[in-house]
């Protein structure tokens, strides 16, 4: 097997087993620190006008993007030149660090456990750790929907998209994708501070996720076959509701999940004390229940396993070299 295909599969397997180790400094934190530092420097120099802020956002993309690709590229190039085994181990480890299937499952299952133990307050606190919306007033149904939606959406940008980019360009391209994704999460807000500065990072994130979101949806539909979910309803709701979101990508896996589980997701939500009116996804065939969090995780893992197998095969065929 081509060594980088083996690194992808081994890294995915490590994440499956262990998830993110709490004691280890995560690469995303390093990228986040770099984004904060570069943003601060850019804002100190560029004019505080809409045009100046948009130009600053473009420079942020160039600096963070080039650095996020170049650093792992040259480190791995040198390491592979010294030892194929050492290069394989580092690339596997970095793939493991940048894949979030186990972490997504672990965090969402904390919500499930609080609900099954009868603690709505505990469930609200647990779900607040994985969503951006206000959670203090959420009903049990609202908590369940928030957890399921998070699992569904992050199946794409937390698992499938990183593996997709690794299959095309190894860990360096995987790092570049995660840098784009992190920039969007930090500066891609449509508020006064980031409306102009974060415009192009947000648009770049939409572009980077365009293909992975759609691949994720179809992997998830296929996963319904061996996870015991309704594949026909998943496909039907996907085709009908995949555009029911302001983001061009977010509703794809949510629509599949809603159809597969026969529940309604999305709808209005509160963010930072302000109500945002959002369309619903799926049909209200039954009320969401805590078990739906487990079912969503099953779909996420089924989708992720299919993606890892397909992308590992692609990488083996391409034989991408440093």
pLDDT at residue 101, rounded to an integer: 92
Looking at 78-145, which runs of residues are DSSP E strands? none
Would you state the structure tokens that stand for residue 5, as one six-digit string? 């295909």
* Residue pLDDT, tens place only, 129-164: 887 767 777 889 989 999 999 999 999 999 999 999
The answer for residues whose C-beta is within 8 angstroms of residue 110's C-beta and 6 or more apart is: 126, 129
Q: Is the pLDDT of residue 275 over 70?
A: no
* Residue pLDDT, tens place only, 188-215: 888 888 889 889 999 999 999 999 999 9
Q: Is the pLDDT of residue 121 over 70?
A: yes
**What is 246-294 written as a DSSP string?**
SSTTTHHHHHHHHHHHT--EE--EEETTEEE---EES--SS---THHHH
* Residue pLDDT, tens place only, 10-65: 999 999 888 777 666 678 889 999 999 999 999 999 988 999 999 999 999 999 99
Residues in the chain: 322
* Cα 314–Cα 10–Cα 1 angle in degrees, nearest 5: 50
pLDDT at residue 216, rounded to an integer: 97
What is the mean predicted confidence (pLDDT) over 219-230? 94
Q: In whole angstroms, give the CA distance from residue 11 to residue 27.
A: 15
pLDDT at residue 20, rounded to an integer: 75
Are 182 and 31 in contact by the 8 Å Cβ rule? The answer is yes
**Prediction pTM value:** 0.91
Could you tell me if residue 253 is left (phi over 0), alpha (psi between -120 and 50 degrees) or otherwise beta? Answer: alpha
Residue 135 DSSP label: -
Q: Is the pLDDT of residue 267 over 80?
A: no
* Cα 52–Cα 204–Cα 267 angle in degrees, nearest 5: 105
């Amino acid at each position: 097997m081509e060594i980088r295909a083996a690194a992808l599969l081994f890294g995915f397997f490590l994440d499956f087993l262990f998830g993110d180790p709490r004691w280890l400094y995560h690469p995303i934190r390093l990228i986040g620190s770099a984004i904060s530092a570069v943003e601060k420097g850019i804002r100190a120099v560029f004019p505080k006008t809409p045009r100046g802020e948009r130009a600053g956002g473009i420079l942020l993309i160039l600096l963070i993007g080039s650095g996020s690709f170049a650093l792992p590229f040259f480190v791995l190039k040198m390491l592979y030149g010294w030892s194929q085994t050492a290069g394989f181990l580092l690339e596997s480890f970095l793939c493991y660090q940048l894949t979030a299937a186990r972490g997504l499952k672990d965090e969402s299952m904390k919500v499930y456990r609080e609900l099954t133990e009868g603690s709505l307050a505990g469930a609200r606190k647990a779900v607040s750790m994985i969503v951006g919306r206000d959670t203090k007033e959420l009903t049990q149904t609202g908590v369940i929907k928030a957890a399921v939606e998070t699992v569904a959406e992050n199946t794409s940008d937390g698992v499938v998209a990183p593996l997709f980019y690794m299959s095309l360009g190894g860990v360096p391209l995987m790092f570049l994708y995660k840098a784009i994704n992190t920039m969007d999460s930090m500066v891609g807000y449509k508020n006064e501070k980031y409306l102009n500065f974060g415009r192009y990072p947000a648009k770049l994130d939409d572009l980077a996720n365009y293909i992975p979101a759609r691949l994720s949806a179809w992997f998830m539909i296929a996963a319904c076959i061996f996870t015991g979910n309704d594949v026909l309803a998943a496909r039907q709701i996907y085709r009908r509701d995949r555009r029911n979101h302001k983001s061009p990508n977010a509703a794809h896996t949510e629509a599949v999940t809603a159809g597969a589980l026969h529940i309604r997701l999305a709808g209005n939500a509160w963010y930072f004390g302000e109500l945002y009116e959002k369309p619903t996804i799926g049909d209200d065939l039954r009320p969401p229940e805590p078990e739906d969090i487990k079912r969503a995780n099953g779909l996420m893992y089924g989708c992720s396993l299919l993606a890892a197998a397909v992308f590992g095969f692609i990488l083996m065929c391409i034989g991408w070299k440093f």
